């Protein structure tokens, strides 16, 4: 999700899927505000000063947030030299303002601030995703680099059979083509977009680290890990604990999938003992494997409908997919999207200009101007993504009346989990309710392994990828991995956590992390790992509240206004309270817990263990 204002856990989200923050005509930017004074004034600060400082920050963030949102929106919808110029400029202004405010908080650090004031102060201090140091020119250089990186990614194309092909088309081809040679070619060519990013990325790391150190953090990685209402080191340990809970499930899925690929393609293409070829899993980054269902479907227990086919047969359009997504939310008692959503969103890729196709949800004015931006394709993957993006919009709307400092997810993983939780309700019964499936086509209980397998290919397969993206960045920001080793370290992590390998040797200048949106887009990624844990906790709690007694994967909360009310109450809290309180408000527990996803897939785990019993798993 792109946030407009400050960074990882901070204020008014510009959009859900990247990170910048606003400034411009602020008092601070004009060197009149308390943030500027904060570093210079010698008289001891009072609580009243602290209150005034926070109020000024709130006003500035709100004003700048709206201004910057409009600029970033235009740039993301029309990438040109000029809109990049504008975006870089507003990016620099917002970073500068954020840094001034963050530094300004130092003046109040010894004051006995009340809970709320202290929380806001802390969020101002650590709200930036990529801080610049306050020295002249740093914010401008940083913004120029980050704008360049994102635009290099979003305007990237490859040549395929003498045709220019953009990433959104390539993603479809990676999911549907099966010829290993073709897959390798597309996979390798897409990674030619990123070598020119490497030096810029390295410079960006230097600047942002200097900015983080000025604010009292060891490096940017520590800053990112500080956004979870606990010390950074504890959060890092928490993440490893969660991974430990789900790793056995991933290992079994990996083992089973690799065996199926080996059976289909033979040892030459996919040996049955090493990592899985990263281009053979139906996704450009091997992050979700749902497109491989036909290869791995369990014999005798496979579902016999395909959601992509159903959508196409029913002549869904991208707009219709969004309408049906909205109808899910309104069935929970939430208000329909405003007319402006339909007038201003970008739902299909325009033919005549370059846009950022990576899906995002935007909150332009912290009021009612919410939008999505997607190059939507009519397929199951994007049907899920539509629900995902609308989740961001409904969250943004729920917390819009809070202080701009609290207009964010309880933590960033919550923001990512809302829509995914909703999409877990896309069950066969739900598909009947919306007229996509005939009652007679509802698979009986004997097909549950098929249903679970399909879901696991997306939800379980994703987990190690969700984790390693930031494991890599933490190493980069800490200096443990230097630019010469960027790519090697990337593949070490891909192998270690995911058990995937590149389809061939990588060129010496390769910068493969740069071929994934969130690296050049500077969107922290731990949020998705956390979301994939949390969404199953939401599902478990919601279905229990609904009195559901069947298996969790058959439970749909569609039409349940009581759940909608309770869920919205959690969303309305925004970031105003430490996240365990928000989690407790809906689920009754204060801990993130991988046991919910493990429980959801328990029957599949049993099946996989049985299937794998004579195989040597691991890589």
Q: Name the residues that contact ligand X8Z, by CB under 6 A.
A: 1, 16-17, 287, 359-360, 385, 388, 528
Rounded CA separation 501/187 (Å)? 12
Binding partner of 261, given Zn ion, ligand X8Z, none, CB within 5-8 angstroms per partner class: none
Give per-residue burial for 272-309: e unless 16+ CB within 10 Å, then b.
Answer: beebbbbbbbbbbbbbbbbbbbebbbbeebbbebebbe
Catalytic residue among 67, 68, 201, 358: 358
- Listing DSSP states for 23-87 in one string gives -SS-TTTTT-SHHHHHTT--SPP-HHHHHHHHHHHHHHHHHHHHHHHHHHHHHHTS--HHHHHHH
Show the 3-state SS of 319-386: HHHHHHHHHHHHHCCCCCCCHHHHHHCECCCCCCCCCCCCCEEEECCCCCCEEEECCCCCCHHHHHHH
- Give the x/- contact pattern for Zn ion in 11-30, rule: CB under 5 A: -----x--------------
1 lies in the binding site for Zn ion (CB under 5 A): yes
Please confirm, yes or no, whether 359 is among the known catalytic residues: yes
Please confirm, yes or no, whether 192 is among the known catalytic residues: no
Strands 360-363 and 276-277, how do they pair?
unpaired
**Minimum distance of Zn ion from residue 17's CB (angstroms):** 6
**Minimum distance of ligand X8Z from residue 201's CB (angstroms):** 18
**Minimum distance of Zn ion from residue 389's CB (angstroms):** 7
Nearer Cβ to ligand X8Z (102/468): 468
Q: Are 1 and 361 in contact (CB under 8 A)?
A: yes
**Minimum distance of ligand X8Z from residue 1's CB (angstroms):** 4
Binding partner of 359, given Zn ion, ligand X8Z, none, CB within 5-8 angstroms per partner class: ligand X8Z
Nearer Cβ to Zn ion (16/242): 16
**Minimum distance of ligand X8Z from residue 78's CB (angstroms):** 20
Nearer Cβ to Zn ion (122/387): 387
Binding partner of 18, given ligand X8Z, Zn ion, none, CB within 5-8 angstroms per partner class: none
Please confirm, yes or no, whether 182 is among the known catalytic residues: no
Binding partner of 6, given Zn ion, ligand X8Z, none, CB within 5-8 angstroms per partner class: none
Nearer Cβ to ligand X8Z (49/279): 279
Rounded CA separation 342/32 (Å)? 40
Catalytic residue among 88, 359, 398, 489: 359
- Give the x/- contact pattern for Zn ion in 269-308, rule: CB under 5 A: ----------------------------------------
Phi, psi for residue 247 in degrees, rounded to 5: -55, -45
Q: What is the DSSP letter of 504?
A: S
Nearer Cβ to ligand X8Z (287/425): 287
Sign of the Cα pseudo-torsion (464, 465, 467, 472, in order): positive
Per rule CB under 5 A, count of chain residues that contact Zn ion = 3
Catalytic residue among 387, 518, 541, 611: 518
Binding partner of 448, given ligand X8Z, Zn ion, none, CB within 5-8 angstroms per partner class: none
Q: In which element (H, E) is residue 251 found?
A: helix 232-265
370 lies in the binding site for Zn ion (CB under 5 A): no
Please confirm, yes or no, whether 607 is among the known catalytic residues: no
Q: What is the DSSP letter of 110?
A: T
Binding partner of 385, given Zn ion, ligand X8Z, none, CB within 5-8 angstroms per partner class: ligand X8Z
Binding partner of 258, given ligand X8Z, Zn ion, none, CB within 5-8 angstroms per partner class: none
Binding partner of 528, given Zn ion, ligand X8Z, none, CB within 5-8 angstroms per partner class: ligand X8Z
Rounded CA separation 389/2 (Å)? 11
Q: Which residue is nearest to Zn ion (CB)?
A: 1
Please confirm, yes or no, whether 518 is among the known catalytic residues: yes
Nearer Cβ to ligand X8Z (13/280): 13
Nearer Cβ to ligand X8Z (382/593): 382
Nearer Cβ to ligand X8Z (292/526): 526
Please confirm, yes or no, whether 20 is among the known catalytic residues: no
380 lies in the binding site for Zn ion (CB under 5 A): no
**Minimum distance of Zn ion from residue 537's CB (angstroms):** 18
Residues in 405-424 that interact with Zn ion by CB under 5 A: 416
Phi, psi for residue 13 in degrees, rounded to 5: -75, 130
Binding part of the chain for Zn ion, among 1-9, 140-148, 500-508, 543-551 by CB under 5 A, reads 1-9
Catalytic residue among 228, 430, 528, 607: 528
Nearer Cβ to Zn ion (108/532): 532
Rounded CA separation 179/183 (Å)? 6
Binding partner of 174, given Zn ion, ligand X8Z, none, CB within 5-8 angstroms per partner class: none
Half-sphere exposure of 433 (CA within 13 A, CB side): 14
C-alpha dist (Å) from residue 230 to 325, 423, 578, 619: 35, 30, 9, 34
Catalytic residue among 29, 66, 381, 392: 392
CB atoms within 10 A of CB 352: 5
Please confirm, yes or no, whether 358 is among the known catalytic residues: yes
Rounded CA separation 374/356 (Å)? 8
Give Rg (Cα) of the chain: 24
Catalytic residue among 254, 388, 411, 415: 388
**Minimum distance of Zn ion from residue 356's CB (angstroms):** 14
Q: Are 374 and 15 in contact (CB under 8 A)?
A: no
**Minimum distance of ligand X8Z from residue 559's CB (angstroms):** 25
Nearer Cβ to Zn ion (16/249): 16
Strands 500-501 and 276-277, how do they pair?
parallel
Q: In which element (H, E) is residue 2 found?
A: strand 2-3
**Minimum distance of ligand X8Z from residue 270's CB (angstroms):** 24
CB atoms within 10 A of CB 558: 18
**Minimum distance of Zn ion from residue 360's CB (angstroms):** 7
Please confirm, yes or no, whether 416 is among the known catalytic residues: yes
Q: Are 387 and 325 in contact (CB under 8 A)?
A: yes
CB atoms within 10 A of CB 152: 16
Binding partner of 384, given Zn ion, ligand X8Z, none, CB within 5-8 angstroms per partner class: none
Closest CA to 196 of 509, 535, 605: 509
Catalytic residue among 58, 326, 389, 611: 389
C-alpha dist (Å) from residue 277 to 237, 381, 488: 30, 21, 16
Nearer Cβ to Zn ion (16/142): 16
Residues forming the site for Zn ion (CB under 5 A): 1, 16, 416
Residues with active-site annotation: 358-359, 388-389, 392, 416, 518, 528
């Amino acid at each position: 999700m792109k946030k407009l204002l400050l960074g990882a856990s901070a204020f008014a989200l510009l959009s859900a899927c990247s990170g910048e923050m606003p400034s411009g005509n602020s008092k601070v930017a004009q060197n009149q505000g308390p943030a500027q004074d904060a570093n210079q004034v010698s008289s001891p600060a009072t609580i009243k000063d602290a209150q005034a400082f926070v109020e000024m920050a709130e006003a500035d963030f709100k004003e700048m947030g709206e201004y910057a949102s409009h600029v970033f929106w235009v740039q993301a919808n029309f990438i040109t030299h000029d809109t990049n110029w504008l975006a870089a400029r507003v990016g620099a202004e917002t970073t500068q303002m954020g840094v001034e405010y963050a530094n300004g908080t130092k003046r109040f650090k010894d004051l006995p601030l009340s809970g709320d004031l202290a929380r806001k102060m802390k969020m101002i201090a650590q709200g930036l995703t990529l801080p610049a140091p306050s020295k002249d020119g740093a914010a401008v250089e940083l913004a120029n680099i980050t704008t360049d990186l994102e635009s290099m990614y979003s305007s990237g194309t490859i040549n395929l059979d003498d045709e220019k092909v953009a990433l959104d088309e390539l993603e479809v081809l990676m999911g549907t083509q099966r010829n290993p040679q073709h897959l390798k070619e597309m996979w390798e060519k897409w990674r030619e977009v990123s070598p020119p990013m490497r030096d810029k990325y390295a410079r960006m790391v230097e600047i942002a680290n200097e900015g983080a150190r000025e604010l009292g953090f060891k490096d940017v990685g520590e800053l990112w890990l500080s956004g979870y209402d606990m010390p950074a080191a504890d959060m890092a340990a928490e993440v490893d604990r969660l991974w430990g809970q789900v790793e056995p499930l991933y290992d079994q899925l990996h083992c089973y999938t690799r065996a199926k690929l080996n059976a289909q393609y033979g040892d030459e293409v996919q040996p049955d003992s090493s990592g899985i070829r990263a281009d053979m899993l139906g996704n450009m980054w091997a992050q979700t494997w749902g497109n491989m269902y036909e290869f791995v479907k369990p014999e005798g227990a496979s579902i016999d409908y395909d959601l992509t086919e159903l959508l196409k047969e029913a002549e869904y359009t991208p707009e219709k997919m969004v309408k049906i997504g909205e109808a899910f939310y309104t069935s929970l008692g939430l208000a329909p999207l405003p007319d402006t959503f339909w007038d201003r969103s970008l739902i299909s890729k325009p033919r005549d200009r370059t846009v950022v196709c990576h899906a995002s949800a935007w909150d332009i004015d912290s009021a009612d101007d919410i939008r999505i931006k997607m190059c939507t394709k009519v397929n199951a993957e994007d049907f899920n993504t539509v629900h995902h993006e609308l989740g961001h919009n409904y969250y943004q709307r729920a917390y819009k009346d809070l202080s701009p400092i609290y207009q964010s997810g309880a933590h960033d993983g919550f923001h990512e989990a809302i829509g995914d939780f909703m999409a877990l309700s896309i069950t066969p019964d739900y598909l009947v309710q919306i007229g996509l499936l005939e009652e007679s086509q509802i698979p009986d209980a004997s097909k549950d392994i098929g249903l679970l397998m399909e879901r696991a290919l997306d939800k379980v397969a994703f987990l190690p990828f969700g984790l390693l993206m930031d494991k890599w960045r933490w190493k980069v920001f800490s200096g443990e991995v230097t630019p010469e080793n960027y790519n090697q370290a990337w593949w070490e992590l891909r192998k270690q956590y995911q058990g995937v390998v590149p389809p061939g040797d990588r060129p010496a200048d390769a910068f493969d992390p740069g071929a994934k949106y969130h690296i050049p887009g500077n969107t922290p990624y731990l949020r998705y790992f956390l979301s994939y844990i949390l969404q199953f906790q939401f599902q478990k709690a919601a279905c229990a509240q609904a009195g559901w007694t069947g298996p969790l994967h058959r439970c749909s909360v569609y039409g349940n206004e009581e759940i909608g009310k309770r869920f919205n109450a959690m969303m309305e809290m925004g970031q105003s309270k430490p996240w365990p309180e928000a989690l407790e408000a809906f689920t009754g527990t204060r801990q993130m817990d991988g046991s919910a996803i493990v429980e959801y897939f328990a029957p599949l785990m049993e099946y996989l263990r049985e299937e794998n019993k004579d195989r040597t798993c691991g890589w």
